């Protein structure tokens, strides 16, 4: 089914406002059998109040059993089939920091890591090195020289940077060099076709030179590369939904993804309250607002159950300010689950809450994984969340006679 063919045909313009709040990695698991998840443990009076007037469901970011990366997870939320539209993390990071990728460029998201005396990874994120310490390292990596190749290295945030390779005949079908575990050495980049083999050889030479440059740094003495990709072509929100869409995010990757689907990046907020300030500032100018909150994901990846609970509570605390804007449709969800128990993205469906004056409340009085599983929206593919939002906003005509 081509969802966008339908939405192009059926879209209606009106004055409604849709707000999608994405708490990254929101879904969780109990730390012991019979216990509560992070979301169920958190004191979240505002989310629970919304549950009383809204309808819940469990959204599948991709399909059953598949644990998504952040790119596919967000594409699904935005209504783009994440299997049909494949975007590498490198292109997202590069676009998010404003780098103008050209046709044929291959970008990769870089992670600084800590290597032990045997060259094995002891910390995949270099202690989550601060941005003011990591940015000069990215500048230093511009010293890498590869004959016949333009190499662009840009700081991103904390332990992240982005590298773009520009040369004739490159493609981004290259395997990541991050083994996704400590106690292992970084992997070699491997290309899965001839143009990608060329890109992989360039990436391996970059890593070789960069590792020498980083040697001696107490935390970031190594690196891994992930999400090799070129710039994709996606239809815009304006085209497929008839929406003027704005994105309010702190991390560049999420700005990049929003830009690739035609959202305008709003403001330069660094805190959740500042993000709501930006939404308030631009409220009259846009029909759809995507607000991204990162820290429910990073705490889950760290396996820090209590800290993830705290971040959910911080997220809950700003909701009255958003409700005061009186959105026509308010959605709370995540791009995937990141249970502290697993310390990783997982395949578990994501608790999703939708509130509008014409939704059908399902009788739940709290918001969490167990209520979402039994909620009125049921278990559904995330790519249908946007059609639900449009319908509740009165932005879709009847289909057929």
CB 126 within 8 A of CB 188: no
Q: What is the mean pLDDT of residues 55-80?
A: 96
Residue whose C-alpha is closest to residue 54's, from 319, 383, 315, 237? 319
273 pLDDT exceeds 90? yes
Phi and psi angles of residue 28, each rounded to the nearest 5 degrees, phi first: -145, -165
CB 54 within 8 A of CB 344: no
**Percent of the chain as helix, strand, coil, to the nearest 5:** 35, 20, 45
Q: What is the pLDDT of residue 247?
A: 98
Q: Rounded to whole angstroms, how far apart are CA atoms 325 and 278?
A: 12
> What percentage of the chain exceeds 70 in pLDDT?
100
pLDDT tens digit string along 343-394?
999 999 999 999 999 999 999 999 999 999 999 999 999 999 999 999 999 9
Q: What is the pLDDT of residue 1?
A: 66
92 pLDDT exceeds 90? no
Sign of the CA dihedral with 389 first, then 391, 394, and 397 last? positive
The pTM assigned to this predicted structure is 0.80
pLDDT tens digit string along 105-116?
999 999 999 999
Triad 47, 48, 49: Cα angle to 5°: 90
Q: Read off the tokens for 131.
A: 């941005």
Q: Rounded to whole angstroms, how far apart are CA atoms 290 and 91?
A: 20
Can you give the residue ranges of every domain in the chain? 3-86+233-392, 92-229
DSSP code, position 88: -
Q: What is the pLDDT of residue 9?
A: 95
Distance of CA 160 to the CA centre of its chain: 14
Which residue spans within 130-208 are E strands per DSSP? Answer: 150-157, 160-166
pLDDT tens digit string along 19-39?
999 999 999 999 999 999 999
pLDDT grade for 93, boundaries at 50, 70 and 90: confident
Name the CATH superfamily, with its identifier, for domain 3-86+233-392.
Alkaline Phosphatase, subunit A (3.40.720.10)
Of how many residues is the chain composed? 401
Which three-class secondary structure state does DSSP give residue 198? Answer: helix
* Residue 129 CA: distances (Å) to CA of 108, 308, 367: 19, 20, 34
Q: What is the mean pLDDT of residues 334-341?
A: 98
Q: Rounded to whole angstroms, how far apart are CA atoms 9 and 390?
A: 13
Q: Rounded to whole angstroms, how far apart are CA atoms 245 and 247?
A: 7
Q: What is the pLDDT of residue 188?
A: 97
β-bridge partners, 352 = 57
Please state, rounded to an integer, the average pLDDT across all residues of the chain.
95
pLDDT grade for 231, boundaries at 50, 70 and 90: confident
pLDDT tens digit string along 300-317?
999 999 999 999 999 999
């Amino acid at each position: 089914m081509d969802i966008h063919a339908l939405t192009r045909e059926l879209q209606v313009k009106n004055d409604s406002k849709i707000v999608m709040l994405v708490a990254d990695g929101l879904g969780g698991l109990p730390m012991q059998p019979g216990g509560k998840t992070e979301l169920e443990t958190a004191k979240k009076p505002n989310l629970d109040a919304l549950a009383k007037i809204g309808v819940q469901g469990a959204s599948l970011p991709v399909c059953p059993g598949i644990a998504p990366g952040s790119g596919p997870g967000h594409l699904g939320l935005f209504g783009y089939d994440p299997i049909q539209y494949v975007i590498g993390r490198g292109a997202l990071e590069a676009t998010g920091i404003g780098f103008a990728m050209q046709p044929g460029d291959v970008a990769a998201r870089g992670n600084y890591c800590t290597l032990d005396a045997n060259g094995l990874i002891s910390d995949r994120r270099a202690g989550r090195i601060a941005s003011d310490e990591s940015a000069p390292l990215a500048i230093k990596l511009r010293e890498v020289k590869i004959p016949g190749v333009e190499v662009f290295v840009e700081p991103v945030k904390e332990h992240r940077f982005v590298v773009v390779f520009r040369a004739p005949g490159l493609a981004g079908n290259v395997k990541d060099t991050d083994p996704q575990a400590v106690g292992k050495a970084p992997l070699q980049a491997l290309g899965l076709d001839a143009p990608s083999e060329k890109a992989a050889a360039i990436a391996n030479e970059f890593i070789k030179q960069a590792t020498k440059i980083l040697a001696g740094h107490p935390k970031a003495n190594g690196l891994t590369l992930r999400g090799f990709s070129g710039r994709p072509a996606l239809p815009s929100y304006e085209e497929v939904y008839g929406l003027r869409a704005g994105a309010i995010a702190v991390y560049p990757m999420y700005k990049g993804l929003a830009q690739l689907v035609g959202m305008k990046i709003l403001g330069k907020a660094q805190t959740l309250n500042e993000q709501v300030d930006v939404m308030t500032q631009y409220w009259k100018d846009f029909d759809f607002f995507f607000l991204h909150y990162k820290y429910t994901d990073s705490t889950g990846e760290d396996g820090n159950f209590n800290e993830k609970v705290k971040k959910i509570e911080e997220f809950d605390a700003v909701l009255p300010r958003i409700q005061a804007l009186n959105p026509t449709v308010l959605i709370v969800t995540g791009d995937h689950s990141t249970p502290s128990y697993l310390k990783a993205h997982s395949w578990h469906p994501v608790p999703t809450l939708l509130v509008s004056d014409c939704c059908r409340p399902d009788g739940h009085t709290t918001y969490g994984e167990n209520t979402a599983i039994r909620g009125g929206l049921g278990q559904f593919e995330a790519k249908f969340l946007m059609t639900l939002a449009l319908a509740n906003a009165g932005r879709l005509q009847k289909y057929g006679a």
